[in-house]
Structure 1
Amino acid sequence: MGKNLKGKELGKNIIQRKDGRYQGRYIDRFGKRKSVYGETLNDVRKLLRDKEYENSRNLNSSDETITVDQWYSVWRDTFKVNKCRNTTLESYDRIFRLKISPEIGNMKMIKVLPIHLQRIINKADAKGTRELIRAVLTNLFKYAVASEVVAKNPALNLDIRRIDDEDSEATFLTDDEIQIIMKYSENSCIKNIYRLILQTGMRIGEVTGLTWDNIDYEKNVIHVVQQLVTTKDPKTKKWVLEVHKPKSKAGIRDIPMTKETKEILRELREDKDVIKFPKNSEFVFATRNNTPQYRASISKLSDRIRDKIRQDYPDFKNFSPHSFRHTFATKMIAAGVKPKVLQKIIGHNQIQTTMDLYCHVYDDQIYEAMDTFENMA
């Protein structure tokens, strides 16, 4: 039994120190001896009750000193290396280094609260950046809970929405907008990339990774079996192009060719030499210097086309090569194609992804729906 400075018994595992403060000792569920301190006896008794509750509910941490930076390294090397693609790992590293670590890297894991993480989300402008930050944080703390580094996951209810997101999602292009884009990209190599995506709904990496042996004229389909990705060589630290399989099993698919698709391919085949990359594999799209198309270069070129358009149309909406995939899918839905069929064509794993991303409604569809309703009366 511990005693105070006057010799009065205070109870089990509680003493009064020479400086007048009270100290309580306990053993946590990991077998470690710990202490709590308070200005009054009641303070220490309450702290001990709290620790006893945490022990009984498995709410305490196995390591209360580990920081977010330190845990990220553990999480990355233990749970992610060899379990996801290098490109995915690079995106995790980049978003952590630029957005997360500067804000909470030195904080102890057990001290991180939802408000700290929400502030990181709020500082990111692009919706895609906010989504990636949330994904990394949620998974980072998920494994921290499983490893008993923290008791709860503070990233579970992060809100990435913004009042201006509705405008940023307006990547569907109208026929008039497409016509303008094609006009301003007339002398650019990106025009045929736009055209092919608009006819097939392929991802930009799938288009740049397309080879002539993927074009099956006999069956009248494009075999989507690979994509071209940019990744950093771990030895040289230089960016290199690699051929990977599509994002998922659903990404491996056959897309029937339209007349326009075959015309685009005919023009490409006749008008330019094709590059051998890798050996014995002819890529459909290549630069004027006969080198592979980097996704970053295509994005920059698309931005220049947009800026050129805005000189004449200042309010022209933002767009990217992905906007043409978005437009393809939306037009398919508007044409009456069933979502399950569209899911197969564009290579989504989950039907809900297809529904959430591409099932837009045209203004004229609203009027048609009301006319149908009125005629039923």
Structure 2
Amino acid sequence: VEEEKDIFTRTEWDRFYRAMTPHFQPLLALLITSGARWGEATALQVRDLDVDAGVIHVRRAWKKGAQGVVLGAPKTQRGRRAIMLPDHVVAMLAPLAAGRPPEDFLLTSPTGRVIHRTNFVERHWKPALAAAGITKDLSPHSARHTFASWALMEGVAPQIVQHRLGHESLETTSRRYAHLLLDAQRAAVDAIGWEPSPGA
């Protein structure tokens, strides 16, 4: 079992979201509701958003290469996936795609450039955490762990969580979130509902 990672509570996330620079709120909304990796979310292009279906198509991701960060395939074979989004998140993203070339990045910096993680964390993520009064060790990747934890705690099937995270196998999901899956077993225990009859 891997070490448990810090996650946001729902109250903390609400405070953090409100404290975030408004320009980046659509990015936060996407991260918390999709489970996508930072490198996948910031690599989405306009053509990857299907507004009518309410889906984003993860087809590429930023990766560290010999010459710095480069655009490549997702981390795993299952990383290429379609992720359904809530209607309110689609409504936030749709204006960002309207009228733009399909190969443009969907989410950009205020100047229209690629969002660089280090710059974003120092100028926006950390100040928003501070403004929200959150002292936990939380990074953009924590939004992914938070999504998975919230979903599993609400009884979403591990296979669905695995797909949305793009994990290569269910074993990866189970190992990473074993403590939550153990808690969920209470429902299975209660569902059986069997006890020996009196005198058996």
TM-score by length of 2: 0.79
1:308 to 131, 144, 154: 131
1:266 aligns with 2:88: no
Structure 1 residues 228, 173: CA separation in 2 closer, same or farther (over 3 Å shift)?
A: same
Quick check: 1:224–1:252 contact (8 Å CA) kept in 2?
A: yes
Quick check: 1:227–1:245 contact (8 Å CA) kept in 2?
A: yes
Which structure 1 residue ranges, 4+ long, deviate > 4 Å from structure 2?
none
Following superposition, the deviation at residue 218 of structure 1 comes to: 4.1
Equivalence for 1:199: 33
CA distance in 2, matches of 1:224, 1:359: 26
Quick check: 2:42–2:105 contact (8 Å CA) kept in 1?
A: yes
Structure 2 residues without counterparts, runs of 5 or longer: 196-200
1:182 to 17, 39, 49: 17
CA distance in 1, matches of 2:174, 2:80: 20
Equivalence for 1:46: none
Structure 1 residues 359, 331: CA separation in 2 closer, same or farther (over 3 Å shift)?
A: farther
Q: Deviations over 1:42-71 (max 9, x none)?
A: xxxxxxxxxxxxxxxxxxxxxxxxxxxxxx
Following superposition, the deviation at residue 290 of structure 1 comes to: 1.6
Equivalence for 1:330: 149
Aligned residue pair count: 189
Structure possessing the higher radius of gyration over alpha carbons: 1
Structure 1 residues without counterparts, runs of 5 or longer: 1-164, 234-238
Higher relative contact order (CA 8 A, sep 6+): 2
1:356 to 161, 164, 175: 175
1:320 to 139, 146, 165: 139
Equivalence for 1:292: 114
1:252 to 71, 80, 103: 80
Following superposition, the deviation at residue 263 of structure 1 comes to: 1.8
CA distance in 2, matches of 1:211, 1:265: 11
Q: Deviations over 1:223-250 (max 9, x none)?
A: 11001235452xxxxx4x5221101111
CA distance in 2, matches of 1:286, 1:245: 20
Structure 1 residues 204, 266: CA separation in 2 closer, same or farther (over 3 Å shift)?
A: same
TM-score by length of 1: 0.45
